């Protein structure tokens, strides 16, 4: 049962998050994404095998086990081939990125945008801070592939802490969508209820490096997070709406299957996105519907154009904290 919008907004205001159950149609909107990614992984596996990078295509393995096997052989940088955003550093003209039509359709889902409109109004832009999170079972990953990465456990952070200061006043709404059921066993999100009321906390350098370290190469110290934490198991098709100041992390995947989700953002059109060099797009406009981007090919081309541009520039500065901050001592 989907929460009524009034209840949804009240919980969001009080707790810093709210879950709308069954908002996304699993068969019509999520299954095409699963099929899209299964085909993509098969294609990538064949190419890596042909190039001698992996020893097998792992064609008989289920999706999550296949991904783990490829990551173990090809390295964590392989995950970028599945991503819907560019890495924070090391962008080249051939940096892989995936923008399939099924994924684009999810970003423009009518049911989703109806709910988003209740939070931020009718002029909605898809914020370019966006990720796909496919977490294989940790037991299948070799040691160097474990730890905080986009495809593994996420460390404690606030989403406002992962964008530039110019977006501090932007009404950025985090939207988290499980493609398969997210459980405590397979690594669902966990939050600190009400933490959005306490402002932005310091995020300290973890020392984790690499293209697929999370935006969380910086994390909130455990002593600030505290002990009051709430795990958020969700069904496929549920949607979590979260305040950009809500402290959250994810649990490790100790199950035998994958935990698969989309980590999206939306903001009122015209407000800073916190990633000025990445391309957002107008997802809905009540005042000027013609301005909406409706072509998935154009979406993909926008990202390719930005990739080519960034390949010739110095890496932009993402983090606002110094490793010398006394709170990180």
Does any domain span residue 326?
no
Does any domain span residue 324?
no
Where does the pLDDT of residue 4 fall: very low under 50, low under 70, confident under 90, or very high at 90 and above? low
Angstrom distance (rounded) from CA 104 to CA 303: 13
Note down the domain range covering 218.
5-311
As for how many domains the chain has, the answer is 1
- 60 sits in the region (left: phi over 0; alpha: psi -120 to 50; else beta) called alpha
Where does the pLDDT of residue 153 fall: very low under 50, low under 70, confident under 90, or very high at 90 and above? confident
Is the pLDDT reported for residue 2 higher than 70? Answer: no
- Find the farthest-apart pair of alpha carbons in the chain and give their distance in angstroms, rounded: 56
H or E element at residue 282: strand 281-285
Q: What is the CATH number of the domain that holds 179?
A: 2.60.120.620
Q: Which residues of 17-56 are buried (b: 16+ CB within 10 A; e: fewer)?
A: bbbbeebbeeeebbebbbeebeeebeebbeebbeeeebee
Mean pLDDT computed over 153-181: 94
Does any domain span residue 318?
no
DSSP-H helix ranges across 75-134: 101-107, 110-120
Which of 68-77, 90-99, 147-156, 193-202 has the lowest average pLDDT?
Answer: 147-156
The percentage of the chain sitting over the pLDDT mark of 90, rounded to a whole number, equals 77
| pLDDT for residue 211 | 43
Where does the pLDDT of residue 219 fall: very low under 50, low under 70, confident under 90, or very high at 90 and above? confident
Q: What is the pLDDT of residues 61-118, one digit of tens each?
A: 999 999 999 999 999 889 999 999 998 888 999 999 999 999 999 999 999 999 999 9
* Beta-bridge partner residues of 126: 266, 281
Contacts of 75 (CB under 8 A, 6+ apart): none
Residue 20 is encoded by which pair of tokens? 């709308």
**Cβ 17 vs Cβ 3: under 8 Å:** no
Residue 305 is encoded by which pair of tokens? 């154009």
Q: What's the chain's average pLDDT? A: 91
Q: Residue 272, class by beta-carbon neighbours within 10 Å (0-12 exposed, 13-18 middle, 19+ buried)? A: middle
């Amino acid at each position: 049962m989907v929460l009524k919008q009034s209840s949804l907004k009240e919980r969001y205001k009080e707790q810093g998050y709210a879950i709308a159950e069954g908002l996304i149609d699993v068969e019509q909107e999520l299954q095409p994404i699963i099929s899209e990614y299964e085909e993509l992984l098969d294609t990538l596996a064949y190419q890596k095998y042909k190039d001698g990078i992996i020893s097998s295509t792992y064609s008989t393995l289920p999706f999550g086990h296949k991904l783990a096997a490829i990551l173990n052989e090809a390295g964590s940088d392989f995950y970028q081939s599945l991503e819907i955003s560019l890495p924070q550093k090391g962008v080249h003209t051939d940096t892989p990125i995936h923008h399939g039509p099924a994924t684009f359709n999810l970003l423009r889902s009518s049911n989703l945008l109806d709910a988003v409109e209740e939070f931020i109004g009718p002029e909605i832009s898809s914020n370019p801070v966006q990720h796909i999170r496919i977490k294989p079972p940790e037991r299948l990953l070799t040691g160097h592939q474990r730890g905080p990465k986009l495809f593994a456990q996420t460390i404690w952070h606030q989403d406002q802490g992962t964008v530039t200061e110019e977006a501090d006043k932007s009404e950025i709404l985090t939207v988290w969508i499980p493609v398969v059921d997210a459980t405590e066993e397979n690594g669902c999100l966990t939050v600190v209820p009400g933490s959005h009321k306490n402002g932005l906390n310091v995020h300290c350098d973890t020392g984790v490096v690499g293209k697929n370290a999370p935006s969380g190469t910086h994390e909130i110290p455990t002593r600030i997070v505290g002990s009051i934490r709430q795990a958020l198991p969700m069904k496929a098709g549920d949607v979590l709406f979260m305040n950009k100041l809500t402290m959250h992390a994810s649990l490790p995947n100790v199950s035998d299957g994958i935990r698969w989700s989309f980590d999206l953002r939306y903001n009122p059109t015209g407000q800073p996105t916190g990633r000025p060099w990445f391309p957002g797009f107008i997802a809905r406009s009540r005042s000027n519907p013609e301005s909406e981007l409706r072509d998935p090919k154009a979406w993909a081309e926008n990202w390719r154009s930005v990739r080519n541009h960034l390949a010739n520039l110095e890496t932009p500065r993402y983090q606002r904290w110094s490793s010398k901050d006394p709170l990180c001592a």
